Amino acid sequence: MLRPEPLYRIQLVLLASEAQDAALALARFGAFNPAPGGAETLAQTPAAAYREVWLEAEARLAKLLAQCGDTGALELPPDAEAPSLADLEELNAWLKDVWTACLDCHDATQRLDETHARLAALEDTLARLERLDVDLGRLLRPDSLLAVRLGSLPADNVRRLNEALALSGHVLSRFDQSGDQVYAVIAGPRARHDDVRGLLAQAGWRELELPDELRTHPRAARGWLESERQRVEMQSGAQCEVLDGLRGRFGPRLHEARQRLALAHPLSEAARAGVRGQGGLAALTGWIPKRRLAALRATLDARFHGRYWLDLREPGPREVADVPSLVRYPAWLAPFVPLVKSYGVPRYGEFDPALPFAFAWLLLFGAMFGDVGHGAVIALVAAGLAPRLGRIAWVGVAAGAASMVFGLLYGSVFGYETLIEPLWLSPLHDPIRMLMLAVGFGVGFIVCTLLVNVWNKAAAGHAGEALFDSGGLAGLAFYLGAVGVVASLAGAADLVPQAAWLAGGGLVVVAVFKWTETRATPGERALVTAIETLETGIGLFSNTLSFMRVAAFSLNHVALALAVFTLAGGLGAAGHWIAIVLGNVVIMALEGAIVAIQAMRLMYYEGFSRFFNGDGTEFVPLRIVSGEG
């Protein structure tokens, strides 16, 4: 649980004609992560053509299903075999013929949809024009002495435009309004038609485009529109019958095509990583968990009866960076895993921080937001939202529980400090102790991160960095020595000489290591060494002081509650309790979110940044897309 599982690299060599069955068997096995590779003698890529045909067939099937509808739930028989390349090409050719047959139907349906949309737009325009009750064909004749415009403008500009048009012999008459837009008719002498263009533009006038179908009396246009709608509805009904016929004709075979493409998917997916081959042989390469080796052999023996060769080996030092990371988490820890993976995925062999992250984050959240009442509300709300939020809701439940535990330790219930006695201490009455405890927790936290970094560097084969770098044992010695000096000066211990020697020795070792690792001129090496050595001390102590925010937010929680109580105390009975309730809601929503983010920040920047690269590759097993997979 604290480290990714040990993996083995496998290479499965078998007849190329059985490559699709091997990929299907590995997908059903459920623990094979394809990876590039293959012997140098296997120079061909026999699955490349298979993948190309599969992609083409899958795209055609998707279009047909979108046209004909879903064919029902897909169930794959456990003894079903994957199609060969020839079978897949035959299926792809059939899908092409079916799509050609359906294309005319598709185009006709699309034309009907466009006609429906056009009729709806005409209906919209006609509904406005019916109020005019005049023959628009005659009204808008281009050879008439009277020039007429139809359009709209903002309601606020109607009066001023009407007055301005009157000066040029034009009349404005409104016939409809929608919101702040007024629809109007403007009529005037055609000889002065162009004189009013500037006025219209200033008033925000927009011409109403009038289709040819509506250039008649609105009653005649209404009759034509109704008959056209009936005609289109009849065509739509006929088209639906055609679609139903196509579904009945091709539906069962399309369902079979879905099954065969689902069975072919594993080899198509494995081909992305690279399936190598030569002559009549093919090789699938990838990773499987060490604990599943026996089960893999049993699966292959049951399917191929010895017609294969399996090469197994542990990952070499040079390929560790390419090994995927597989970590199994218990159900109670799984909700916290996405929060860790938002930072990154652990490398193979690297310490997995999910478990310490969960405990430390809950500890920090509870310490900064300790309140029995607030924690109970957060837990109940998170539990109530579990059907919608899924597993992540249980992070909220756990955070609420942690808040309740620290609320008992602090003696705080909805901000009230007098309802129960604190089991430990009250931040309000002992702030200095809270600050010291927060810094002490930060020291312990950073020491743990440095130890984990030493482990990760050693596991990766970087012994020099594990021993002598600022994040290794030398940096840890400097940090512990410096903490000892500060603690002694504060009167908490009497270890100044020993701690000073430990800190000085650690810093010297770090400086020497930086010097030897830097490749530059002596002057540049001295400058880089001085800067990086100085940064070691400054970084460690600034990170330690960051944990003072734990005490600060625990005090801030009490201060906000006091502010709410002070405000409520100046109000009447009803106002008092309204202020108390609303104030507590604000504290839970606002401060709760801020505390959650601050706890996350401490984990990411003061913790993960010291030992967690987060650039690993997640183990993604080969699976069947649909059906049992």
Q: How far is C-alpha 397 from the geometric centre of its chain's CA atoms? A: 22
Q: What is the pLDDT of residue 253?
A: 83
> The domain containing residue 529 runs over which residues?
428-546
Res. 41 pLDDT band, cuts 50 70 90: low
Q: Are 499 and 462 members of one domain?
A: yes
Looking at residue 241, its pLDDT comes to 53
463 pLDDT more than 70: yes
CA distance readout (Å), 497 to 477, 503, 533: 14, 10, 22
218-257 per-position pLDDT tens digit: 888 888 888 888 887 776 666 555 555 555 667 778 888 9
**Distance between CA atoms of residues 34 and 287, nearest Å:** 7
Considering the domain architecture, whether residues 414 and 560 belong to the same structural domain is answered as yes
pLDDT tens digits along 396-449: 999 999 999 999 999 999 999 989 999 999 998 999 999 999 999 999 999 999
| Buried-state track 148-171, b at ≥16 Cβ within 10 A, e below 16 | bbbbbbeeebbeebbebbeeeebe
Task: Give dist(CA 201, CA 165) in Å, integer.
Answer: 13
Does residue 6 belong to any structural domain of this protein? yes
Instruction: Report, as an integer, the average pLDDT of 582-601.
Output: 95
**Residue 370: predicted pLDDT:** 96
Q: State how far the Cα of 84 lies from the Cα of 77, in Å rounded to an integer.
A: 17
pLDDT in tens, 142-192: 878 788 888 899 999 888 888 888 888 888 888 888 888 888 888 888 878
Q: Which residue has the tokens 């008439």?
A: 144
Is there a single domain that holds both residue 443 and residue 537? yes
Number of Cβ atoms within 10 Å of the Cβ of 206: 12
Task: Please indicate, yes or no, if residue 629 is contained in any of the structural domains.
Answer: no
In angstroms, the CA 274 to CA 283 distance is 9
Cα separation, 467 vs 48, in Å, equals 48
Domain boundary, last residue among 328, 345, 364: 328
Mean pLDDT of the chain: 88
Same-domain status, 374 and 520: no
pLDDT at position 9 is 94
What residues are paired with 44 via a beta bridge?
277
Instruction: Strands of 223-262 (E only): list them.
Output: none
The whole-angstrom separation of Cα 60 and Cα 57 is: 5
Q: Is the model's pTM score more than 0.85?
A: no
Residue reference for tokens 């072919």: 264
Is 237 found in the same domain as 112?
yes
Residue identified by tokens 């925010």 is: 549
CB of 88 closer than 8 Å to CB of 54: yes
SS3 assignment, position 176: strand
Looking at the domain assignment, is residue 136 inside a domain? no
What does 144-167 look like in DSSP terms, one character per residue? SSEEEEEEEEEGGGHHHHHHHHHT
**pLDDT given for residue 629 in this prediction:** 34
- Cβ neighbors of 360 (< 8 A, separation 6 or more) are 445, 603, 607
Nearest alpha-carbon partner for 50 in 75, 16, 79, 77: 16
d(CA 64, CA 202): 53
Place of tokens 């400054």: 538
Assess whether 443 and 542 both reside in one domain. Answer: yes
Model confidence pLDDT, tens digit, residues 283-324: 999 999 999 999 999 999 999 999 999 999 999 888 888 899
User: Are 86 and 189 in a shared domain?
Assistant: no
CB neighbours (10 Å) of residue 141? 13
Pairing state between β 146-154 and 181-189: antiparallel
> Looking at the domain assignment, is residue 219 inside a domain?
no
Say whether both 432 and 515 belong to one domain: yes
Say yes or no: 110 and 244 in one domain: yes
CB 129 within 8 A of CB 185: no
Report pLDDT for 214.
81
CB 182 within 8 A of CB 173: no
Number of domains present in the structure of the chain: 5
- Are 540 and 440 in a shared domain? yes
Banded pLDDT at 486 (limits 50, 70, 90): very high
Residue 350: helix, strand or coil by DSSP? Answer: coil
Residue range 61-78: mean pLDDT, rounded: 78
- With both helix axes pointing from N to C terminus, report the angle between 372-384 and 393-410 in degrees, rounded to the nearest 10: 170
